[in-house]
Structure 1
Amino acid sequence: MPFADELINGHTARSLARAVRTALPGMEPASLRSSAHQLDPLPLRERADLLRDALLADVPGGYAELADVVRAARDAVPEFGGWLIWPVTSAIAAKAVAEGTDAAFDDAMALLADLTGRLTSEFALRVLLRHDLDRALGIVADWTGSSDADVRRLASEGTRPYLPWAVRVPELSARPDATVPVLDALHRDDSEYVRRSVANHLNDLGRDHADLAVATARRWLDTPAPTTERLVRHGLRTLVKGGHPGALELLGFAPATLEVDGPVVDHTHVPFGGSVRFTATIRNTGAEEARLAIDYVIHHHRANGSQSTRTFKLTTRTLAPNETVAVTREHSFRILTTRRYHPGPHAVALQINGVTSERAEFELQAP
């Protein structure tokens, strides 16, 4: 399986060049051909940008000419899809913004919706959102009623505040309620694919505007569909892990009277690349049944001597008065390319309904 950066590669560039030659017979896409040999040192988004710029250099004329070439390639080339769609849609968006007319903007939005099912147009949509947020959101609102699930998902995914790999749209952060109508329109969608995007969008919203995310989820739960509770749980997952009181209360994790014994680690010295196992017992000492969101927090040693925390999901339990539950987990420090560990003092603690237990200390040893 390729690394993410390799998803756009020399084959992508050559496929796009062939598609352009088919759409413009007799034209040699020299920039695209050359770009196939320039991709290797670049991360994924920069690879998409390189092919976008090569396509813009190879296709003469303004927005209309580029749009005609893209539509001709779409209709004539069966393999016109996959990761080449990212640079193609980005070129369309860039050319429409450079043209500066409402007609070009609206046609670009329509072309993005048309192409999104061939991979996704979510990255290119950001360019148009940055250029004219209100005009773009007016069109996105119409997408929420599309019969095509890919287009409906584009409405939610393309407007996420923290869309992975994508450029940020500062105005979305400055106007956090601007995309709530999109989520309202789609949170009951028939497609799990669309609803998962709505949940991820809600999770993004909660990173900077927790109360708005919780209030939005609360409205949905007032008149829920059978799928709403699951969507809300996923959409508020970061707030729950962060111990946000409103998110916990909305999902039924009220403050509880508990007796927590632990966590206790099996070894106080953990080999580099190894794992630490911990156990704990939790007893409901209150008079009422307690629904518990039980997470655990690893305090990581950093290179500068400070510590950072990362919260992990453990389990959920409902305890009757005086009922006890035992929990155990083995946490791995296996070496990964996406995470770096530093030898030194670490700790683990439980977090139950947002309340953190005492820490159990351990040492991650040097390699």
Structure 2
Amino acid sequence: MPFADELVNARTAQSLIRAVRIALPGADPASLRAAARRLGPLSLRERADLLRDALLADLPGDYAELARVVRAARDGVPEFGGWLIWPVTSAVATKAVAEGTDASFDDAMALLAELTGLLTSEFALRILLRHDLDRALEIIAGWTASSDTDVRRLASEGTRPYLPWSVRVPGLLARPGATVPVLDALHGDDSEYVRRSVANHLNDLSRDHADLAVATARRWLDTPAPTTGRLVRHGLRTLVKRGHPGALELLGFAPATLEIDGPVLDRTRVPFGGSVRFTAAIRNTGAETVRLAIDYVVHHHRANGSQSARTFKLTTRALAPDETIAVTREHSFRPLTTRRYHPGPHAVALQINGVRSNRAEFELQASPED
């Protein structure tokens, strides 16, 4: 399986070159040929941007000419799809913004909707959102009623505050309620693909505006569809990990009276690349059955000597009065490309319905190479 950066690669560029030649006979995509040789050291988004700029250099006409070539490629080139869609849609959006007319902007929005099913237009949509947020959102509101699942999903995914791999849209971050009507229209969608996007969008929103995310989810749960509960649980997952009282209460995780024995570690010195196992016993000392969101928190040692906490999902359980459950988990410190571990003092704690237990301390040893 390729690394993410390799998803846009020399084969992507060659496919785009062939598409241009078929859609525009006589064209000489020299800039695309040169770009294909320069992809190696670049990140995924940088690769997409490089091919976008090369495509714009090879097709220097106005927006209407670019849109004509793109539609001709879509209709006449069988391999026109996949990761080449990112630079193509970005070129469409960039050219429309540069031209600066309402007609080119509106047609670019329409063309992105036409192309999104071939991969996704979510990254290019950010360019248009940054240029004219209100005009874009007005058009996107219409997409929520589209018969095309991919277009409805684009309405939610393309407007996410923290869409992965994408540029930020300052207007969306400054106006957190701007996309709530899109989510309201789509949270009960027939498609799990669309609902998953809505949940991820809600989770993005919760990162900076927790109360707004909880209030939005609460409205949905007032008149729920069979799928609403699952969507809300996924959409509020970050707030549950943070122990946000409103999110926990909404999901039925009320304050509980508990007796916690642990966590107890199987070792206090963990070799680099090894793992630590912990166990704990949790007893409900209250008079009512309680629902428990049981997570655990690892306090990682940082290079500057401080610690940073990261929360991991453990389990969800209902616990009757005087009932006890045992939990156990093995946490690995195997090296990852996405996380660097630093030797030194670490700790693990439970977090139950947002409340953290006592910490159990351990030492992560240095790598033999250090």
Q: Within 1, Cα distance between the matches of 2:335 and 2:96?
A: 45
Classify the secondary structure of the residue corresponding to 2:60: coil
Letter of the structure 1 residue corresponding to residue 274 of structure 2: G
Aligned equivalents of 2:27, 2:334: Cα separation in 1: 52
- Give 1:283 deviation, angstroms: 0.6
Aligned-residue Cα RMSD (Å) equals 0.5
CA distance in 2, matches of 1:101, 1:218: 41
- Aligned match of 1:342: 342
- Looking at structure 2, the residues matched to 117 and 348 of structure 1 have their Cα atoms a distance apart, in angstroms, of 44
Aligned to 1:74: 74
Aligned to 1:103: 103
SS in 2 for 1:259: strand
Give identity over the alignment, percent. Answer: 86
Give how far 1:129 is off. 0.3
| Distance (whole Å) between structure 2 residues aligned to residue 123 and residue 10 of structure 1 | 20
How big is each residue's C-alpha offset from its partner over 1:41-79, in whole Å with a ceiling of 9 and x where there is no partner?
000000000000000000021100100110111111011
Q: Which amino acid aligns with 2:299?
A: H
- C-alpha displacement of 1:176: 0.5
Q: Aligned residue for 1:245?
A: 245
Provide, for residues 282-331 of structure 1, a one-character-per-residue CA deviation record: whole Å limited to 9, x for no partner. Answer: 11111111110000000000111110010000001111111111100000
- What's the CA shift for 1:332? 0.5
What residue identity is the alignment partner of 2:110? A
Using the alignment, how far apart are the partners of 2:137 and 2:42 within structure 1?
Answer: 32
Partner Cα distance (1:240, 1:172) in 2:
24
Q: TM-score, normalised by structure 2?
A: 0.99
SS at match of 1:162: coil
Q: 1:282 is paired with a residue of what secondary structure?
A: strand
- Rounded to whole Å, the distance in 1 between the matches of 2:27 and 2:60 is 10
Residues 1-367 of structure 1: matches in 2 within 5 Å? 1-367=1-367
Distance 1:328 1:254 in 2: 23
State the 1:24 CA deviation.
Answer: 1.0
The one-letter code sitting in structure 1 at the alignment partner of 2:37 is H
How many aligned positions are there? 367
Secondary structure class of the residue paired with 2:163: coil
1:173 Cα shift? 1.0
Measured in 2, the distance between the counterparts of 1:308 and 1:332 equals: 17
Task: Say which SS state the counterpart of residue 177 (structure 1) adopts.
Answer: coil
Partner Cα distance (1:363, 1:208) in 2: 33
Amino acid at match of 1:205: L
CA distance in structure 2 between the partners assigned to 1:59 and 1:333 by the alignment:
50
Distance in 2 (CA, whole Å) between partners of 1:111 and 1:363 is 56
- Unmatched segments (≥5 aa) in structure 2: none
SS at match of 2:193: helix
Q: Which amino acid aligns with 2:234?
A: H
Give me the whole-angstrom Cα distance separating, in 2, the residues matched to 1:208 and 1:109.
28
**What CA distance in whole angstroms lies between the structure 1 residues aligned with 2:290 and 2:284?**
7
For 1:263, the aligned partner's letter is P
Q: Give the residue type in structure 1 aligned to 2:54.
A: A
The whole-number CA distance in structure 2 between the counterparts of 1:337 and 1:232 is 31
Aligned partners of 1:352, 1:226: CA distance in 2, in Å? 27
Q: Write the distance in 1 (CA, Å) between the matches of 2:325 and 2:309.
A: 25
Cα deviations by residue, 1:218-244 (Å, 9 ceiling, x for unpaired) = 000000000000000000000000000
Give the 4+ runs in structure 1 shifted more than 3 A: none
**How far apart are the structure 2 equivalents of 1:152 and 1:337?**
34
> How high is the TM-score relative to the length of structure 1?
1.00
